[in-house]
Every structure is written in C-alpha cells, then in structure tokens.
Amino acid sequence: MPTCKLCGRSFDTLTELYVHLSSECNKIPRSRRCPVCGSKYRSIRFMKHHLINEAFIESKHMSYLISI
Ligand SMILES: [Zn+2]
Ligand SMILES: [Zn+2]
C-alpha cells in the first residue's frame, strides 16, 4: 500500500498519494532547498513542485517521500 513517508498516511493508489503530497501533506519541508538533491529554488512552492515531480521519475526522491 503506497504510504506517505512524511506523515505516515497510506492510500489505495499511488495517484491518490501524489494528490495528497501536492495538495494537503503538511509535513513537506518548508525550505527552498531540496532535502534530497540539494537544488535551490526561488520559492518553497517551486521546491515542493520539484520534489513531487522528481518522485515520479527518480528513485532517490521517490524513496524520500514514498514507501510502497
Ligand atoms: Zn503526507
Ligand atoms: Zn531534488
């Protein structure tokens, strides 16, 4: 079952988990620097966007956010 590693909630599908991360998870770091790869962004919103998008395609970001 896909689980949000940050807050511990589980979901039926990965899609629901991604929606959770992008809209309502309040445990995503409030930082302009990505905690996984160290890239810096103009705003917290951009960093969050990066983190969630990368998790779709890249395993390091994925394992930071998600456990399946
Ligand atoms: Zn969460
Ligand atoms: Zn990153």
Ligand 1 geometric centre to CA of 65 (Å): 8
Q: Is the pTM of this model over 0.75?
A: yes
CB atoms within 5 A of ion ligand 2 belong to 34, 36-37
- pLDDT number for residue 49: 96
pLDDT tens-place values along the chain, 68 residues long: 999 999 999 999 999 999 999 999 999 999 999 999 999 999 999 999 999 999 989 999 999 999 98
- pLDDT number for residue 20: 97
Ligand 2 geometric centre to CA of 52 (Å): 9
- pLDDT number for residue 7: 98
DSSP one-letter string for the chain: --EETTT--B-SSHHHHHHHHHHT-TTS---SB-TTT--B-SSHHHHHHHHHHHHHH-HHHHHHHEE-
Domains and CATH numbers, the chain: 3-67 (3.30.160)
